[in-house]
Structure 1
Amino acid sequence: MGQPAEKQRRATYADLEAVPPNKVAELVRGTLHVFPRPAPRHARASSRLGGKLSGPFDLGEGGPGGWHIPDEPELHFPDPEAPGEIDALVPDLAGWRVERMPELPDTAYFALAPDWVCEVLSASTEDVDRDEKMPIYAREGVRYAWLVDPMKHTLEVYVLGEDRRWGPAVVHRDAARVRVAPFEAIELDLSVLWAK
């Protein structure tokens, strides 16, 4: 008779803290994911999108304001499969309506789920972003999620339904000029995200 398979140890936040600072680490359902820093096209698409949204929504310049929109915030959510443990996710961008979070926390992380998240996809992160992080964002009640693919030149927009499931993606491509929830107050020229 064969030996029973050894149960794999769940990673903890201490494992995440031990990751070198030149890497991006996330803790998802007890699994530690470690990625290289974003490649140039990934970083540029994220920076440009953040720049386009921060002025009108975070600073209120030429737009309605009313948001906090930080780059790469660390999010902490209780892991329902392991009491006392957390899921620690780092989206490329996230946004909180000021009415829900009047002041930024003093901690190095956010415990309140954002209203909006954006993941910029890359070959090394896409499966984790889609298959592991998106269900957690839905579970935590994040209302809007955007997936940006700088190689395919696409913006996928998801809205959370009453049943805490993502509705079908609305996909915008290439040089489309779009008004997209929750930031429909301004028009986004997607070609800016892909410019070389």
Structure 2
Amino acid sequence: MGQDKGKRPVSYEDIEALPPGWVGEIVAGELYASPRPAAGHLRASWKLGAFLATQIEEASTGPGGWWFRAEPELHFEPNVVVPDIAGWRRERVPEPSDPETPWLTAAPDWLCEVLSPSTRTVDRVRKMPLYHREGVQHAWLIDPVRRTLEVYGRGKNGWVRTALHGGNTVIREAPFEDVSLDLGRLWTPGPGGAAHP
């Protein structure tokens, strides 16, 4: 306890002081910094984001009613977090009209964290409870190494895992039940372009 006496509180300046290419987050008064993610993480996040943009946000025949951001900086004072992808229902939160807005304060209705070895514990243990406290309704956790997708719904006292999918399964999951997602498209192909077993 005596060691923490002289320790100054973590602030946004600590995030700004990180080396270029690092992502900083403040959760429960602690700074978490992580390097840019590996190829499997990037592919899963990019492919899911592209799917959501084309099949939901911009689709003329799709469900619509959503807008999405990749790696949005969310300020839930005093916490600063950066989920891999987040989505808001337009009926609840209109898309910001200022393209230079650097961060958002409205909790998303859905978000996704793509797990990496350096972020797995923070995402599960620190950030998921914070997302629940802030009112997020749906959360997905993707593990590109294990090739799994965990689906969580908001429960009264915490998250409830409603589904676990793996491999190349085609799914329809909350809150996007109106469209089919082929999980195989999220995974990094093996040597020669073949899908991993």
Normalising by the residue count of structure 1, what TM-score does the alignment of the two structures yield? 0.90
Q: Distance in 1 between matches of 2:134 and 2:120?
A: 20
Question: Identical aligned pairs, as a percentage?
Answer: 50
- Which residue number corresponds to residue 175 of structure 1? 168
Work out which of the residue numbers 110, 114, 117 in structure 2 matches 1:120: 114
Matched, 1:102 2:94: yes
**8 Å CA contact 1:11, 1:30 repeated in 2:** yes
Q: Which amino acid aligns with 1:145?
A: A
- Which residue number corresponds to residue 81 of structure 1? none
Alpha-carbon distance, 1:6 to partner: 3.5
Q: 1:75 to 1:164 in 2, by over 3 A?
A: farther
Q: 1:105 to 1:138 in 2, by over 3 A?
A: farther
- Which residue number corresponds to residue 195 of structure 2? none
Residues 57-136 of structure 1 aligned to structure 2 (within 5 Å): 57-78=56-77, 86-104=78-96, 106=98, 107-136=101-130
Work out which of the residue numbers 135, 140, 147 in structure 2 matches 1:153: 147
- Helix, strand or coil for the counterpart of 1:42? helix
Q: Which amino acid aligns with 1:27?
A: I
**8 Å CA contact 2:71, 2:83 repeated in 1:** yes
Q: 1:114 to 1:53 in 2, by over 3 A?
A: same
Q: Distance in 1 between matches of 2:62 and 2:91?
A: 16
Q: Distance in 2 between matches of 1:4 and 1:25?
A: 27
Q: Which amino acid aligns with 1:154?
A: T
Q: 1:105 to 1:133 in 2, by over 3 A?
A: farther
Normalising by the residue count of structure 2, what TM-score does the alignment of the two structures yield? 0.89
Matched, 1:143 2:144: no
**8 Å CA contact 2:150, 2:161 repeated in 1:** no
For structure 2, list consecutive stretches of 5 or more residues without a partner in the other structure: 190-197
Residues 25-44 of structure 1 aligned to structure 2 (within 5 Å): 25-44=24-43
Q: 1:90 to 1:6 in 2, by over 3 A?
A: closer
For structure 1, list consecutive stretches of 5 or more residues without a partner in the other structure: 79-85
- Which residue number corresponds to residue 193 of structure 1? 186
Q: Distance in 2 between matches of 1:105 and 1:156?
A: 33
Alpha-carbon distance, 1:102 to partner: 1.6
**8 Å CA contact 2:68, 2:88 repeated in 1:** yes
**8 Å CA contact 1:60, 1:66 repeated in 2:** no
Matched, 1:48 2:40: no
Structure 1 ranges of 4+ moved more than 4 A: none
Aligned residue pairs total 186
Q: Which amino acid aligns with 2:120?
A: E
- Helix, strand or coil for the counterpart of 2:102? coil
RMSD: 1.5
- Which residue number corresponds to residue 177 of structure 2? 184
